[in-house]
């Protein structure tokens, strides 16, 4: 059945809707979702820019309206069970996991393709440039549909990923998300995507004993490493637009004059270079190399705001943090009631009170429902964790994607996990 138009005043709980709005014009994780509660219904109906939208009857979970018997005598109706709020919330979480798994599958596919194309990408050939442009467009088109999913994808990077490909995908997705939120034109967004995709291509021309080194670089090695941005800009040279070329050359420069090449300021450092540089910095805080400590997504956000906010344009940094939220989806959190959970949806109206799925061994993982921390008497977030800091069975329970669940389950005692999954709520 095709989508049907409906006035927002006619919406009901249980309808699956598609908002005809840009993602930053509404507070929801995606423009397509199931209305699971009266609170969500009120949020949709309160959107001032929205008068009419579309809904999908096939994906909705509605109790059909009672139909009277045409005869005068009253008909005996047997209504279908109405889904409970918990069932609707569970279904919404299932859809979130399904979408994240779809995106993760796409990222894995892109990562393999980038790894296969490395000889062309690092050669500086016309074929390499065409492949880079096409892949950058693909990331922008297929991945940047939901900022919450983008954040979770960044936090899923692991040792099994290609050292260049996954970072490239993460930075491109993050940079495109910010450029779109800043209302860049389609051509400008495309330039930002290409600059982000090629920002570290110069690294492929450096010695592998530097690029693959696990420990901190020596001062001499650091000097060689810092040459990658200039090498990257030179690799494709004048075949790049100035906006793309400068994003590559200057993505490590900062408006306070720090970084490299040094000496930039707010008037000389292009916005595209700042966007790519900020996306690169965030991903390196979450997924570092060369022996640097790894931060949780929330710690990375706080680090950028507390320690590096003078290094970036205020508009760009504020937009970036607004997109991520204080606790980006995928952040593992410790609550004030000593429970551990994972953030599944940010709350723009209450940034410190997102929706969280908590670890509860008495409830099957697939039956867990999010806890809305903005509700009265809800616990508060007190700390954040890296997934690997949790006991394996807890990490496997909280994993949102099939991919991270698979890698966590691999280290969990089979009997222990089976006993957890066999319990029902």
Q: Which of 90-104, 339-353, 360-374 has the lowest average pLDDT? A: 90-104
pLDDT at residue 288 greater than cutoff 50: yes
For the entire predicted model, the pTM comes to: 0.74
Chain-centroid distance, C-alpha 347: 15
pLDDT at 240: 96
Spatial contact of 110 and 165, defined as CB atoms under 8 Å apart: yes
CA-based nearest residue to 133, from 82, 191, 77: 191
For the ranges 5-9, 138-142, 162-166, the lowest mean pLDDT is seen at: 162-166
Return the half-sphere exposure (C-beta side, CA atoms, 13 A cut-off) of residue 308. Answer: 21
Distance CA 181, CA 22 (A): 9
**What is the rounded distance in angstroms from the CA atom of residue 404 to the CA atom of residue 388?**
11
In three-state secondary structure terms, 123 is: coil
- Residue 341 β-bridge partners: 333, 358
**C-alpha angle 411/413/416, rounded to 5°?**
135
Does 81 have pLDDT greater than 70? no
Output the pLDDT for position 75: 58
What is the reported pLDDT for 414? 42
pLDDT of residue 58: 83
CA distance 159 to 146: 25
Confidence at residue 368, expressed as pLDDT on a 0 to 100 scale: 85
Please say whether the beta carbons of 337 and 379 come within 8 A.
yes
Per-residue model confidence (pLDDT) at position 40 = 81
Kindly report, residue by residue over 314-332, the tens digit of the pLDDT: 999 999 988 888 888 888 9
- Would you state the pLDDT for residue 399? 79
Q: Which of 26-30, 111-115, 306-310, 329-333 has the lowest mean pLDDT?
A: 26-30
Separation of alpha carbons 139 and 195, rounded Å: 13
Residue range 368-382: mean pLDDT, rounded:
91
Which tokens sit at 89? Answer: 């919330």
C-alpha–C-alpha distance, residues 10 and 12, integer Å: 7
- Region 115-135: what's the mean pLDDT? 91
Sequence-ordered list of residues with C-beta below 8 angstroms from that of 399, at least 6 positions apart, any chain: 342, 387, 405, 408
pLDDT at 128 over 50: yes
Averaged pLDDT for residues 332-350: 88
User: Among 96, 25, 5, which Cα is nearest to 402's?
Assistant: 96
Which residue, among 170, 177, 186, has the nearest Cα to 110 in the 3D structure? 170
Nearest to 322 by CA among 196, 424, 177, 122: 177
Any idea where the domains of the chain sit in the sequence?
1-62, 89-324, 332-421
Determine the average pLDDT of the residues in 79-88.
67
The domain 89-324 is placed in CATH, from the list 1.10.1040.10, 3.90.550.10, 3.40.1160.10, 1.10.3210.10, at: 1.10.3210.10
Q: Given pLDDT bands bounded at 50, 70 and 90, which one contains residue 423?
A: very low
Please state the rounded mean pLDDT for residues 230-241.
Answer: 95
């Amino acid at each position: 059945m095709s989508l049907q138009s409906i006035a927002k005043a006619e919406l009901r709980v249980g309808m699956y809707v598609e908002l005809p709005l840009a993602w930053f014009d509404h507070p929801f994780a995606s423009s397509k979702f199931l209305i699971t509660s009266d609170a969500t219904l009120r949020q949709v109906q309160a959107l001032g820019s929205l008068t009419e939208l579309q809904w999908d009857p096939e994906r909705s979970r509605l109790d059909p309206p009672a139909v009277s018997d045409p005869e005068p005598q009253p008909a005996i109706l047997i209504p279908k069970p109405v889904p409970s709020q918990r069932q609707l919330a569970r279904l919404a979480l299932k859809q979130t996991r399904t979408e994240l798994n779809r995106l993760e599958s796409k990222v894995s596919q892109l990562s393999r393709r980038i790894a296969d194309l490395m000889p062309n990408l690092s050669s500086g050939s016309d074929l390499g440039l065409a492949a880079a442009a096409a892949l950058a467009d693909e990331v922008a088109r297929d991945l940047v549909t939901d900022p919450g999913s983008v954040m979770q994808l960044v936090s899923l990077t692991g040792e099994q990923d290609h050292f260049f490909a996954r970072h490239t995908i993460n930075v491109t997705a993050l940079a495109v998300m910010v450029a779109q939120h800043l209302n860049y034109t389609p051509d400008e967004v495309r330039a930002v995507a290409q600059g982000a995709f090629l920002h570290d291509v110069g690294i492929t021309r450096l010695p592998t004993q530097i690029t693959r080194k696990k420990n901190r670089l020596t001062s001499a090695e650091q000097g060689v490493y810092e040459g990658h941005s200039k090498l990257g800009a030179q690799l494709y040279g004048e075949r790049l637009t100035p906006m793309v070329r400068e994003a590559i050359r200057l993505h490590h420069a900062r408006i306070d004059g720090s970084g490299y090449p040094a000496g930039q300021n707010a008037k000389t450092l292009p916005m595209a270079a700042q966007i790519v540089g900020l996306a690169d910095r965030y991903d390196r805080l979450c997924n570092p190399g060369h022996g640097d400590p790894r931060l949780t997504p929330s710690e990375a956000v706080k680090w950028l705001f507390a320690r590096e906010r003078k290094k970036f344009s205020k508009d760009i940094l504020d937009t970036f943090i607004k997109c991520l939220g204080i606790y980006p989806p995928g952040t593992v959190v410790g609550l004030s009631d000593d429970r551990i959970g994972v953030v599944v949806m940010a709350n723009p109206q209450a940034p410190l009170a997102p929706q969280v799925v908590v670890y509860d061994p008495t409830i099957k993982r697939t039956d867990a429902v999010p806890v809305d921390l903005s509700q009265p008497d809800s616990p508060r977030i007190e700390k954040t964790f890296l997934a690997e800091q949790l006991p394996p069975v807890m990490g496997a329970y909280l994993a949102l994607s099939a991919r991270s669940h698979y890698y966590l389950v691999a280290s969990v005692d089979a009997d222990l996990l089976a006993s957890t999954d066999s319990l029902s709520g």
